[in-house]
Structure 1
């Protein structure tokens, strides 16, 4: 499924939502060429006609493009629409949602930027999040040309371990803001204890949502029993809050044209590293992935999955 003046540092989890929102609204694309007076004049006249299109407005100003050559749909799944914008500078990847406000994309952008800042595994760099005048929201980010396969499993495991090792939190488990996994809200209130965080804000919250929607008391009661007895399951585990992608299934894993792994569409938070493998049943992780991950992993894994 599938966001740079004050950089959001992955090692600075104290960044507030307000600062993050300001960052997202102002971050320009790195300068790639000098703007001539003629180009500046041309941009002013173009912008007069684009005041109601914030996506094109950003691309033709902060995006450093002077011409949008075309757009084309490239899917986007069941939640968002996605388009490629081709320009005379660089191509951009744009996702839009006609119903949900910018908070969802702000959470995604903060996660992408936190992962990007680790300089480990490749992720698309986010540039801009905003509201659409007709309702809904958008996110503009780096366009990454994908290769023909999902890439090498060993490289993915090694790079993911590098990311987990690079970004730790001194505030405990959680994230700067609440975000979404898909379109489902994800609560990221900072919590000192991993088992408390996981029990309350992951398992417990999902059980409450399921109970509210489906009224299945049997599942809810079984889940509550699991929560009450969960602590012994972590005996011997090395628990440390590191940056997680949070939604690592096959649809969010790819590779670039060089064959290097790419991960996208995150639901980031700081958590126990092995929580990253919760979707392994639909991520296609194999022996090569796990061997490479645990060889270069973020801590001494006396407790293996």
Structure 2
């Protein structure tokens, strides 16, 4: 029996580069560089690194940014006041509040305080509602990045049976909405779904964002399916070190028709989509400004 060839690799870096190139071209057509406000509370090393990386990538694309670094003990009222001020500032096009916040801060009121038109994370209820109603709005970065990744590699979801494993507000739920808007037939499953394999084997396009290493095994995948692995898990290697692995077992590559790697798949798309969202927000803001001389002067 002839062994099935390994799956096509849906690599993230070239797709992210294409998205960043588009963001750069569109930003250059605006009267001024789009401005991204990055809000970070505390000195969590991961958050510091993530925010620094986003600011650096923004500069590479031709966007301006500013990191608003607040002390760990910042009160809720002070954080809300900063977000309100940024939302009211016409020089700010996009606002990102880096999560997680310190334990004493409630993220929900903070995210709701962001002007929906500047909500480049796509997490405000107004943008969530717009997504599920098929209306214009800013989309969550990882789900929108997944759709851009599939499009870059020529994978159409129109008319396809799509299964999403994972129901988080950050990935699972919004990517299901985007798939529906793209004319896929969508099933939303999760780790508590009875006989999960019976559901995932129905998928032409399988997106896994459950947060459990190797949850999806080869016997749970339809031969030739497109599989997008959103999971990032750290597992011990046995020598005191750790390695990154996804929610999909590596052997799925022998069954799937196409598969995203971990790392190097969906990850690069998230920051690229964040910057594209900032450009989109800036484009919409300029389009709403009154016509006439000096219309773009800040």
TM-score if structure 2 supplies the norm length?
0.24
TM-score if structure 1 supplies the norm length?
0.24
